[in-house]
Structure 1
Amino acid sequence: MNLNLKGALVAFFSLFIIGASQAQSINKSKFGKGLQFIAADSSFSLKFSTRFQMLYQGAINNSAEQLEDRFLIRRARLKFEGFAYTPKLEYKIELGLSNSDIGNDDPARFNNADNIILDAVAMWNFAPGWELWVGQTKLPGNRERIISSQKMQFVDRSLLNSRFNIDRDAGIQLHHVHNFGTTVVRESGSISMGEGRDITVNNAGGYDYTAKVEVMPFGEFEGEGAYVGSDIYREETPKLAVAAAYNFNDNASREGGQLGDFLVDQRDLSTLFVDYMFKYRGFSSMGEYANKKAPDGPVVLRTDEGLVDETFVTGNAFNIQAGYLFPTNWEIAGRYTTFNPEKVTNIRSQEQYTLGVSKYIVGHSLKVQGDVTLQDQPNRENTYLFRLQMEVAL
């Protein structure tokens, strides 16, 4: 996406917000909650918020002569949400402006738009406990991916997520929630394109199908905390969420299904996720398991020497993390991740050990996080990763 288009978007939305603020009364606005407007006739509402992450990261191993490091804007987002016509019809639009958000697909080769649109979805509460979502947003996959990048316990998500998550897609989703006494059960399902966000070409291969069930035996978490990193609400009673999700991508075209390079051939991909979240009085723990398969084999292209040139990413991964938030709003957390790709893919397995420290100044809206990761790969020297990040969300 070129700079002129970025500038035009920023200018447009700035003028829009200024005009709205002059025409409507501002209410419920405070740090971290955005600007909120409600029409005089209550026919619509708008909440505008923005956020960015400034990141320093470095890497070094025992034989390296110097540290490889850089500063970057990891994320820069604009978000619009509210209701239209009736409070039962909500919407959400989220735009990503940083290079890390937009991605690096090659429009000349794949005829894809820049990935500036993260979310553009309408959510209709058509009956008690039922919602129909239409548009582009996150699929009901693994917990770590659904947790907002603003609300993570560490600087960034784990290796399990980067290798196996099913990310965002365009299509429809159906969500249902009901109670059995104190137990809360959530079911969700989706049918989507299967090629990921902001794709402008016709559907390639088949569609993508996802189903998920989540159980909270001790009731809802405070502040939707089942999808918030760290126990920032300090649950007064133990809270647990356990979920399982299954995704089938019919004739996937990209190496990760919704993510990664487009390959020369297609494969069916099936992915299983199992996860949990537990919180109690400042202590939190989350664990996930992912398993992705290609029944017809993941490798689609080899070199003349027989080496793997193009392959889907298949195999399994496990991630577990835990942390304790002190009354001073400092948190110490640890994470262990193992990534085990199928041998035929010729992708290296990895183990990662991460120690993180966070200071929550205004919850997840203003915080500073740092972590150190030991990355262990077979037949390679250990690598040490260092990251320090500041989050500002208005």
Structure 2
Amino acid sequence: MKFKWKLLPAIWLLASTCIYAQEIVNNSFGNGLINITARDSSYSLKFAARFQSLYTSEWDFPEDYSLKNGNSNILIRRARLKFSGFAYSPKLKYKIELGLSNNDISGASEYTGNAPRYILDAVLFWNFYRNFELWVGQAKLPGNRERLISSANMQTVDRSLVNSRFNIDRETGIQLHHFFYLGENVLFKEAISVSQGEGRNVTTGNFGGYHYAARAEILPFGNFNDYSGADLHREKNPKLSVGASFSHNEDAVRTRSVAGAYILNDTGLYHTNINTWFLDLMFKYRGLNILAEAARRTADDPVAVNSDGTPTGEIVQVGDGFNVQAGYVFKNNYEVVGRYTGINLENRYFNQGIEKQYTLGLSKYIVGHKLKVQTDLSFNDFQQDAEDGLMYRLQVDIHF
């Protein structure tokens, strides 16, 4: 049979693909799928991927202790692609994080071009002088600690209700970060930011003023991994980080400052100044981890009104919240976690009043936070007309 030379390029491509598919790399699990540094050291690239598979089951739990109106759901809670490295100089770093799950990209509106919100982070970090670093682009703002902890590094299935009600999330703008030591161990960190004010991936704005945020932290016993849940390193000495943040969103147009529904009246968007405060701490010692946060939001005029003064029905979610959780990691890398969360949205604006949640969780860290199984059971205590409820969750998290 006569050989068909035209097939040679295809054979070569197939053979080379098979060869590279079998290539053994030096990377280990959890350190990224691809790690590249240019021969001339002009850039580097690290590519990683992760996802969370979540099962949730919920029931009403009235006073007679019977379970009613149960429902369940299985979904991909998060699915992310992450790119990071440096460009031109090690002092100029970058991070890109894309969200692919429905939860990651939800929230499209006319103000985001009615398009899925794929971009989570797209930011440059420039270490321009000593301990000063300038951030430019879209990233998490210097808000509450629980939000700043990556969803890949949580010691619970998900963040608390305090975070979901009060956090200031991500926005596009500029941030300035700095740190310094007082003596040998006492570490201070500071950060300030100026951003657009309407949340992430906004394509139409700025509608009001800008959003200003600031954060300060003190670590009195030295630096440690204070932005990761669970004391997987089993700190030999007590470690503590105490932080405080403040956010002022001038002429904000959404019910939760940079999140929530857009507030409309008969002339267009309703504007009001919104302030948010946070106070938090992280403590770790010999497998014990404690995280506590308090939050408060106020607004100059929380009840939206039309031009004639009549209420529109839209209200800024003002009030306060408190969350405390503690966990202990055993030597076999199982962790038991307990959490209490209390939310108090001001009764004069909201019918739901006080909401409390009690959570008991269990985690198994197979490869630290890179491969883990987490489960929890929560009791939701509503003080008004709503039925109390139970919620069970089981989640598998993998991070290459």
**What TM-score, normalized to structure 1?**
0.89
For residues 26 and 351 of structure 2, what CA distance do their matches in structure 1 show?
Answer: 50
Amino acid corresponding to residue 42 of structure 2 in structure 1: S
| SS in structure 2 at match of 1:200 | coil
Q: Which residue of 1 aligns with 2:27?
A: 29
For residues 208 and 387 of structure 1, what CA distance do their matches in structure 2 show?
Answer: 35
Report whether the alignment pairs 1:206 with 2:209: yes
Q: Which residue of 1 aligns with 2:267?
A: none
Report whether the alignment pairs 1:393 with 2:365: no
For residues 240 and 232 of structure 2, what CA distance do their matches in structure 1 show?
Answer: 15
TM alignment of 1:229-268, pairs within 5 A: 229-264=229-264, 265-268=270-273
Deviation per CA, 1:270-312: give whole Å up to 9, x if none: 011000000001000010000100022x12159xxx8872111
* Equivalent residue in structure 1 for 2:97, among 91, 94, 97: 94
Kept in 2: contact 1:172–1:190 (CA 8 A): yes
Q: Which residue of 2 aligns with 1:8?
A: none
Report whether the alignment pairs 1:40 with 2:44: no
Q: How far apart are residue 27 of structure 1 and its match?
A: 7.1
TM alignment of 1:330-369, pairs within 5 A: 330-348=334-352, 349-369=354-374
Q: How far apart are residue 255 of structure 1 and its match?
A: 1.1
Deviation per CA, 1:203-261: give whole Å up to 9, x if none: 1100000111100000000xxx2000010111111000001111000011111111111
Q: How far apart are residue 65 of structure 1 and its match?
A: 4.0
Q: Which residue of 2 aligns with 1:324?
A: 328
Q: What RMSD, in angstroms, separates the aligned Cα atoms of the two structures?
A: 2.0
Kept in 1: contact 2:147–2:169 (CA 8 A): yes
Kept in 2: contact 1:285–1:323 (CA 8 A): yes
Kept in 2: contact 1:27–1:37 (CA 8 A): no
Kept in 2: contact 1:231–1:284 (CA 8 A): yes
Q: How far apart are residue 202 of structure 1 and its match?
A: 2.4
**What TM-score, normalized to structure 2?**
0.88
Q: How far apart are residue 112 of structure 1 and its match?
A: 4.7
TM alignment of 1:153-302, pairs within 5 A: 153-181=155-183, 182-221=185-224, 225-264=225-264, 265-296=270-301, 298-301=302-305
Kept in 1: contact 2:303–2:311 (CA 8 A): no
| SS in structure 2 at match of 1:343 | coil
Change (3 A) 1:62 1:275: closer
Change (3 A) 1:183 1:78: same
TM alignment of 1:71-82, pairs within 5 A: 71-82=74-85
Q: What number of residue pairs does the alignment pair up?
A: 366
| SS in structure 2 at match of 1:67 | strand
* Equivalent residue in structure 2 for 1:377, among 362, 365, 382: 382
Q: Which residue of 2 aligns with 1:15?
A: none
For residues 139 and 27 of structure 1, what CA distance do their matches in structure 2 show?
Answer: 36
Q: Which residue of 1 aligns with 2:108?
A: 105
Kept in 2: contact 1:112–1:201 (CA 8 A): no
Q: How far apart are residue 266 of structure 1 and its match?
A: 1.4
Change (3 A) 1:210 1:387: same
Computing the radius of gyration from Cα coordinates, the structure with the larger value is 2
Kept in 1: contact 2:112–2:202 (CA 8 A): no
For residues 24 and 316 of structure 2, what CA distance do their matches in structure 1 show?
Answer: 49
For residues 90 and 351 of structure 2, what CA distance do their matches in structure 1 show?
Answer: 48
Q: 373-382 or 58-67, which moves further after superposition?
A: 58-67
Change (3 A) 1:51 1:191: same
Change (3 A) 1:314 1:26: farther
Amino acid corresponding to residue 392 of structure 2 in structure 1: F
Kept in 1: contact 2:241–2:282 (CA 8 A): yes
Q: Which residue of 2 aligns with 1:58?
A: 57
Kept in 1: contact 2:287–2:329 (CA 8 A): yes
Amino acid corresponding to residue 215 of structure 1 in structure 2: I
